[in-house]
Amino acid sequence: MLRRLSATLRRPLLWPAPVAAHKELVRCASSGSVKVTVPLNFWAGKRRASQEKLSKEKVYEPATGQVLCYLEPCGSGDVDEAVNAAKLAYGHWSKLSGMERARIMIEAAHIIEARREEIAEMEVVNNGKSITEARLDVDSARLCIEYYAGMASTLAGQHVQLSGGSFAYTRREPLGVCVGIGAWNYPFQIAAWKSAPALACGNSMVFKPSPVTPVTAVMLAEIYAKAGAPDGLFSVVQGGEDTGTFLCHHPDVAKVSFTGSVPTGKKIMEMASKGVKPVTLELGGKSPLLIFSDCDMKNAVRGALMANFLSQGQVCSNGTRVFVQKDILPEFLEEVVKRTQAIEIGDPLMESTRMGALVSKAHLEKVLHFVNQAKKEGATVLCGGELYDPSDPKLKGGYYMTPCVLGNCTDEMTCVKEEIFGPVMSVLSFETEEEVLQRANSTTLGLAAGVFTRDVKRAHRVVEHLKAGSCFINNYNITPVEVPFGGFKMSGIGRENGQVTIEYYTQLKTVFVEMGDVDSLF
């Protein structure tokens, strides 16, 4: 999925970096010390164990490779209970005024702010990213809830004056019970990004996290409940494909919002179509980053790092196809390799760490396979791309690798065509603007794109021709909650964040009011 550095915060995240100013904090968690034993499902106001006693699945801590908890998947009966609770909550919540809903959402944001460090630590333990990034994710979740709390009281229709004193008006009404299905790269943040606009519009939501990262979404459910939300308003059901299928086919579900892979997104779209349910799909990307010879080299290198190595490269909007104009390629490669080699890898709960563990052993092996495939196809490994062996004994079983820069890449290579979803940057050269635009757009995906240049005319001209939903000029992976995020082509349908998302969680009703007699033809 994607990294959200809040533009409101504007906190620099550069490599290498000094120890942050949080070292005075007393760490509540440490890698390898956390075991989660409480139920991870939540509906009707409390955590709940599955009643169907399906086979439990092991969930691992990426930093150590140790078992963190056991996941209890929800069956159809559990899903029914959660959806029924959400339906009851919707009946009450949808009748509140926008101001009343906003008060509860603002209180939830305040609770998140107070529990920032606790939530961030659990996100690290569950996902493997650095504590520095996890804090920013929690901040983004809070800001999103605050933003849509502010939008809740602004929902309004339109008045249309007609002849003879008659008129029409529109009402923007909630959909009902919405389903959110999250990805493993931003567990807490995605839960907030999906729930905040849904709740602001008067809907309720049943959320299914990724089974790889099930721990923090339930914390958000508890926070909403503590803030005063009616029981069932935001519920969490755990599980994999079967649980997701039960949710998508449930007759009382009005909408599905999914973040994840293109193949899974297609399946969800097909299932939702059986009930003609609207979907929001935020899917994969293989995004281009165009660096022209007139760029500010320092910022271009920083942008390339931000476009490839946030969250161990596990970000769907990453600009992993880095096109560099030929005459500055040697200088760019020298600097980007130097900066990449300086990235500190290690215990994600340490303040100095800038790259933690990949999310799972299977995913680590998949990313390393891509690097090996790139070498076979003629790419040059300029740095990284290998297993990383931490010096700390407790981290020996973790899923670490060194961030990789690939040179001598061509458009036909697997590493350039397929989404790797790991810390692997593929660098390509180009000569002309026309050429690089054609190559940049030569993909079935269109989530994001970026350009670095000092020529403002060129910047806007290039962005106009890039076939991507989220574009960046002289920066990358900056996504404030006030701005819509989403893709073109097979990267998805709909948008997250910004005012426009209100349209994806409401439906429009038109009302005609006759002030005179009926003019009948019969």
Distances from the Cα of 252 to the Cαs of 85, 94, 201, 327, in angstroms?
11, 15, 18, 59
> What is the CB neighbour count within 10 angstroms for residue 191?
25
**Known catalytic residue: 418?**
no
The full 3-state SS of 274-295, as one line of letters, equals: HCCCCEEEECCCCCEEEECCCC
Helix, strand, or coil (residue 380):
strand
Q: Which residues contact 344 (CB under 8 A, 6 or more apart)?
A: 15, 16, 17, 352, 353, 354, 355
Residues 237, 231: contact at Cβ < 8 Å? no
Residues 127, 164: contact at Cβ < 8 Å? no
Q: Which residues contact 114 (CB under 8 A, 6 or more apart)?
A: none
The token duo for 265 is 């997104």
CA separation for the pair 200, 217 (Å, rounded): 18
Strands 159-161 and 167-174: antiparallel
CA separation for the pair 262, 31 (Å, rounded): 33
CA Rg, the chain, in Å? 24
Q: Which of 282, 419, 433, 496 is catalytic?
A: 282
CA separation for the pair 403, 305 (Å, rounded): 10
- Maximum CA pair distance of the chain? 89
CA separation for the pair 50, 238 (Å, rounded): 9
How does DSSP classify residue 51? Answer: S
Residues 102, 110: contact at Cβ < 8 Å? no
Write down the H helix ranges in 174-311. 187-200, 217-227, 241-249, 262-274, 297-309
Active-site residue set:
282
